[in-house]
């Protein structure tokens, strides 16, 4: 297709992906309806086995969202009122919410300027006698620098929990995201690299005790039917979603590879321009959930691009410490300057496996037109 024929590029295109797997997905949904195993049936069990295998962990537990995954991990680790959990300041609010729901306090640490991931050199200063865990977020699909984080945690006797909600299949020094902490949270929100057709989440772990606790917590606290050992929730992964995710899991590596190719192409076309493009450290193998650049005139740029039919996003425009939900923590503008500056400059470009080179080129043409280059 010639470049001139493109006049629209969506931010994500879930319908395009569905077209490529329609037959399998439709059959998977029909089969769940036929079998009527709607709650924690064989599809959930099989998905958990397959997802654990994919993440190179012993176990996976299907839950109803990434936010639940974080909260249930916290509860399984007996983190609660009076405790603190260190998280990056520039993550999606759900990272903090999962901590807050237990009564514990999220403690923010600035990201590195280059990778957007938690700045490991600032973690120790945030540790107090109340700190129970460090929860790095593999933001935009690129892992945080895990070895120093694991070392700091060991030195201070803290848990490491990975928020891998944006990082299905990413690697750190060859290890899968979600395989390095005591437990890790995944989101299967539809727009994620591995997305359900509704809400969904998962937890990976190698620890049998945590596994048993998570099985109870997501299912009314029961160890066997009608035996309720603790106050549990109803936070199960839906069987229909599990069946859909099983189909998608067969394609995730090739979709992630396609995203890598698009990211490489964006970076190649944007090199030497005014835009700040993503940096990939030697330790990381990202899966490009988002391709984020920085520019001074972000809001004008987004408007300009949308006039060309190009849809972009901001992840995230208002830092958590400045959100109304967290006003009780008492933060003010200027407390996390890097997070705040980045939130005004970042813009996420269209990124999904089914993008074509022509579409990437059209987006970059728009970016260059805006700067007059
Ligand atoms: C980094 C991060 N943490 C947590 C979540 C929460 O996941 P969910 O939307 O499935 O509750 C998300 C996704 O929305 C996320 O991107």
Mean pLDDT for the stretch of residues 130-136? 99
Structural contact between residues 70 and 298, judged by C-beta atoms closer than 8 angstroms: no
Site to probe by mutation for ligand 1, drawn from 12, 64, 65, 66 as the one with most ligand atoms within 8 Å of Cβ, is 66
Q: How far is the CA of 40 from the centre of ligand 1 (A)?
A: 22
Give the pLDDT confidence of 253-302 residue by residue, as tens digits. Answer: 999 999 999 999 999 999 999 999 999 999 999 999 999 999 999 999 99
Give the pLDDT confidence of 80-126 residue by residue, as tens digits. Answer: 999 999 999 999 999 999 999 999 999 999 999 999 999 999 999 99
Give the pLDDT confidence of 147-195 residue by residue, as tens digits. Answer: 999 999 999 999 999 999 999 999 999 999 999 999 999 999 999 999 9
Give the pLDDT confidence of 197-227 residue by residue, as tens digits. Answer: 999 999 999 999 999 999 999 999 998 999 9
Task: Look up the CATH number of domain 17-249.
Answer: 3.40.640.10
Mean pLDDT for the stretch of residues 16-29? 98
Where do the structural domains in the chain lie, given as residue ranges? 3-14+252-371, 17-249
Atom of ligand 1 nearest to the CA of 65: 10
Burial track 6-36 (b if 16+ CB lie within 10 A, e otherwise): beebbebbeeebeeeeeebbeebbeebeeee
Q: How far is the CA of 94 from the centre of ligand 1 (A)?
A: 6
- Model pTM? 0.98
Residue with CA closest to ligand 1 atom 12: 165
- What pLDDT is recorded for position 2? 46
> 316: cis peptide before it, omega within 30°?
yes
**Is ligand 1 within 6 A of the CB of residue 96?**
no
Atom of ligand 1 nearest to the CA of 289: 16
Residue with CA closest to ligand 1 atom 7: 66
Return mean pLDDT, the chain: 97
Class of domain 3-14+252-371: alpha beta
Structural contact between residues 101 and 73, judged by C-beta atoms closer than 8 angstroms: no
Instruction: Reply yes or no on whether the pLDDT at 1 is more than 60.
Output: no
The Cα–Cα gap between 260 and 73 comes to 30
Give the pLDDT confidence of 298-322 residue by residue, as tens digits. Answer: 999 999 999 999 999 999 999 999 9
**Is ligand 1 within 6 A of the CB of residue 165?**
yes
The structure tokens listed for 48 are 């958990």
Atom of ligand 1 nearest to the CA of 201: 10
Contacts (Cβ under 8 Å, ≥6 apart) of 259:
141, 193, 287, 288, 351, 352, 353
Contacts (Cβ under 8 Å, ≥6 apart) of 196:
188, 189, 190, 238, 241, 244, 245
Write the DSSP assignment of 106-171 as a string of letters: EEEEPBPTTT-SB-GGGHHHH--TTEEEE--B-GGG----HHHHHHHHHHHT-EEEEE-TT-TT-E
- What pLDDT is recorded for position 4? 55
């Amino acid at each position: 297709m010639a470049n001139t024929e493109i006049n629209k590029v969506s931010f994500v295109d879930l319908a395009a992906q569905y077209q490529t797997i329609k037959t399998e997905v439709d059959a998977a949904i029909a089969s769940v309806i036929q079998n009527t195993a709607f709650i924690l049936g064989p599809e959930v069990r099989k998905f958990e086995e397959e997802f654990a295998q994919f993440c190179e962990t012993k176990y996976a537990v299907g839950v109803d969202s990434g936010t639940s995954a974080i909260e249930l991990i916290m509860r399984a680790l007996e983190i609660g009122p009076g405790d603190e959990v260190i998280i990056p300041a520039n993550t999606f609010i759900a990272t903090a919410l999962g901590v807050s729901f237990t009564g514990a306090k999220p403690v923010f640490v600035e990201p590195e300027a280059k990778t957007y991931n938690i700045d490991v050199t600032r973690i120790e200063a945030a540790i107090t006698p109340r700190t129970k865990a460090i929860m790095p977020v593999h933001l935009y699909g690129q892992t945080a620098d895990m070895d120093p984080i694991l070392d700091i945690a060991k030195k201070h006797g803290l848990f490491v929990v990975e928020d891998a909600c944006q990082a299905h299949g990413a690697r750190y020094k060859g290890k899968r995201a979600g395989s390095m902490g005591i437990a890790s949270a995944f989101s299967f929100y539809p727009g994620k690299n591995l997305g359900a057709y509704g809400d969904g989440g998962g937890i990976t772990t190698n620890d049998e005790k945590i596994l048993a606790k998570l099985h109870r917590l997501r299912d009314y606290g029961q160890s066997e039917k009608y035996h309720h050992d603790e106050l549990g929730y109803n936070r199960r992964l839906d069987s229909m979603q599990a069946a859909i995710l099983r189909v998608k899991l067969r394609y995730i590596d090739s979709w992630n590879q396609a995203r890598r190719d698009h990211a490489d192409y964006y970076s190649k076309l944007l090199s030497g321009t005014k835009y700040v493009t993503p940096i990939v450290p030697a330790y990381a193998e990202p899966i490009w959930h988002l391709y984020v650049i920085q520019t001074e005139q972000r809001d004008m740029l987004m408007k300009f691009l949308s006039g060309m039919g190009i849809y972009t996003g901001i992840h995230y425009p208002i830092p958590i410490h400045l959100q109304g939900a967290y006003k009780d923590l008492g933060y003010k503008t200027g407390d996390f300057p890097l997070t705040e500056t980045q939130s005004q400059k970042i813009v996420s470009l269209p990124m999904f496996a089914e993008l074509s080179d022509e579409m990437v080129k059209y987006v970059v043409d728009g970016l260059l037109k805006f700067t007059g280059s």
